[in-house]
Amino acid sequence: MNDAPVILLGGASGTGKSQVSYPLARRLASPIVEIDDIVEALQAMTTPEQLPALHYWRANPEAAHLPPERIVEMQISVARALVPAVRAVVANHLETMTPVIVEGDYLLPSTAAELDGVRAVFLHEGDEEQIAENYLLREPAAGAQHGRAMVSRLYGDWLAAQAEAAGVPVVPARPWDDVLERVARALDLAPPSA
């Protein structure tokens, strides 16, 4: 796998990170660590008093009805609370030179930019209706999720602006037929062998 064993793939929910990370992992023969799994592990091992941001959504289910801008603020708080865990996972893989793709909504561009030996890219989808359609395809039983799509678009716009400010590549999620190749180019990965 090229010279950087750690790849960070960030972006808001519903932008297609999983649709990119799994084929990318196969192409690079690399495992995937999903930030959601880190969140679950930390929630199982801590209390709301120890890490309030990580437990916020479970402790306050009514918060799903807050204004979208407030929900985005909470997502940013969760992402910031996860920075030490992300750094620890990355440091372990760099120390052992073990390849990994770390994927998730809660990756911060600033963290990606400050870690040596890491390549990062953020997917961005600026069309709220497309995000809502993505949710409907992925979670048909939940029905239309327009409020969630608005939150995702706002958070994604924030992540994209942060990535651009940090010098981390931002790749539009569409068109989907070539997103994997565009992500690979943004990461400066060698083309797949024939």
Considering only residues 56 and 192, tell me which one the structure prediction assigns the higher pLDDT. 56
Q: Which sequence spans correspond to the domains of the chain?
A: 6-187
pLDDT at residue 5, as a whole number: 83
Is residue 109 a contact partner of residue 162, using CB atoms and an 8 Å limit?
Answer: yes
- Pick from 154, 50, 138, 42: nearest CA to 105: 154
pTM, full prediction? 0.93
Assess whether pLDDT exceeds 50 at residue 183. Answer: yes
Computed over every residue of the chain, the mean pLDDT equals: 94
Q: Which ranges constitute the DSSP H helices of the chain? A: 17-28, 35-45, 52-59, 68-81, 83-96, 109-114, 128-138, 146-166, 179-186
CATH node for 6-187: 3.40.50.300
For 119, phi then psi, to 5°, come to -110, 145
Q: What is the pLDDT of residues 78-100, one digit of tens each?
A: 999 999 999 999 999 999 999 99
CB count in 10 Å sphere of residue 79: 24
Sign of CA dihedral 101, 171, 147, 57: positive
